[in-house]
């Protein structure tokens, strides 16, 4: 069995080095052949300082240049060039736990699976301010769906995280590439929902996935994310992304001006809580948490104005062309 670990990167050589160092430190699997594909998602074809860290990686490494902006385009290019049975997804600001490959190996040998995922925690030792609102750990790249193994299904309390995932090539051929209108790009760096859109398609295709609490990845906590204005911007762009996602996969709820009615209710309740907490001098995490649904609503309204720039078939064709160029 073969697994290719895809690592998209854009102008963060110091973080990419940390990610590759974690791959080097991780205990290698016994029965799975591993390869690493680094996708440089930049106009410039070279990755500064990359050669100094590749030599220590104990697996075959390929470097692919994908000039089309966007993480989704980078992942599609990596998937297109890979011939492995499974692809693993790791962001360049993340680090594998030492047992990551073994957890994957044991899970796939215990029972067949179309995809696997697990929690993402802040890098140990990260300082997290007290004003971080409850329910907004995703802003820091963190996600924890519990300590019990369970299937990914409609009842799952979360979704498959694109920074800690293993997906079979067979199921990717069935569901198609990542949607290039979603996910971060150079001009919309806080755009998101490419993971959620892929997760929805996996479930709709009847793919069988398992959440493994031992399949752990650590996320670097960026200093820029430890600012309240970042949380406001993240909530706005997450709302815009949700609007685009909603056009791909409509939900059966009542909409007002193209936005689910419940978003207005959340924003109104949040505004009331914010006003009450501000007047009474409530805790800062409560005030910020109450304010963010309003920014999310504004983002959803803005997202309704964003028109399709691509479609999955066009994305598939671009990914195949990128793979062809990279193989030359």
Q: Where are the domains of the chain?
A: 2-222+309-327, 228-303
Residue 291 structure tokens: 């304010």
pTM for the model: 0.89
Closest CA to 118 of 149, 157, 153: 149
Of 92, 46, 83, 89, give the one whose Cα is nearest residue 67. 46
Question: If you average pLDDT over each of 62-71, 100-109, 242-251, 303-312, which comes out highest?
Answer: 100-109
Q: How many CB atoms lie under 10 A from the CB of residue 240?
A: 25
* Tens-digit pLDDT profile for residues 218-275: 999 999 999 999 999 999 999 999 999 999 999 899 999 999 999 999 999 999 999 9
Alpha carbon of residue 304 to chain centroid: 22
DSSP state of 29: P
Q: Which fold has domain 2-222+309-327?
A: Spore Coat Polysaccharide Biosynthesis Protein SpsA; Chain A (3.90.550)
pLDDT tens column, 277-319:
999 999 999 999 999 999 999 999 999 887 544 444 444 444 4
Contact 128, 54 (CB under 8 A): no
Torsion of CA 231, 233, 239, 240, to 10 degrees: -160
């Amino acid at each position: 069995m073969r697994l290719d670990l895809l690592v998209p990167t854009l102008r963060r050589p110091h973080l990419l080095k940390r990610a590759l160092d974690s791959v080097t430190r991780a205990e290698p699997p016994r029965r799975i052949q591993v390869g690493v594909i680094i996708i440089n998602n930049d106009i410039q074809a070279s990755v500064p300082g990359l050669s100094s860290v590749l030599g220590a990686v104990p697996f075959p490494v390929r470097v692919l240049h994908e000039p089309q902006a966007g993480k989704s385009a980078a992942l599609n290019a990596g998937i297109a060039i890979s011939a492995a049975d499974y692809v693993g997804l790791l962001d360049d600001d993340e680090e594998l736990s030492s047992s990551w490959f073994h957890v994957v190996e044991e899970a796939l040998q215990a029972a067949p699976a179309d995809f696997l995922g697990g929690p993402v925690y802040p890098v140990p030792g990260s300082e997290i301010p007290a004003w971080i609102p409850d329910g907004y750990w995703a802003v820091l790249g963190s996600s924890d769906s519990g300590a019990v193994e369970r299937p990914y299904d409609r009842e799952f309390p979360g979704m498959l995280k694109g920074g800690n995932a293993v997906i079979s090539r067979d199921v990717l051929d069935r569901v198609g590439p990542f949607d290039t209108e979603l996910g971060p790009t150079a001009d919309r760096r806080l755009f998101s929902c490419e993971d959620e859109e892929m997760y929805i398609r996996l479930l709709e295709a009847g793919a069988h996935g398992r959440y493994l609490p031992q399949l752990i990845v650590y996320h670097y906590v960026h200093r820029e994310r430890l600012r309240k204005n970042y949380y406001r911007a993240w909530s706005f762009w997450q709302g815009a992304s949700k609007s685009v996602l909603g056009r791909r996969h409509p939900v059966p709820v009542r909409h007002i001006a193209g936005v689910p009615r419940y978003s207005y209710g959340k924003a109104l309740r949040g505004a009331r809580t914010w006003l009450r907490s501000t007047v009474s001098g409530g805790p800062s995490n409560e005030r910020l948490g109450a304010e963010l649904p309003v920014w999310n609503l504004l983002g959803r309204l803005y997202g309704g104005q964003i028109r399709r720039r691509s479609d999955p078939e066009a994305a598939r064709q671009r990914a195949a062309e990128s793979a062809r160029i990279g193989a030359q």
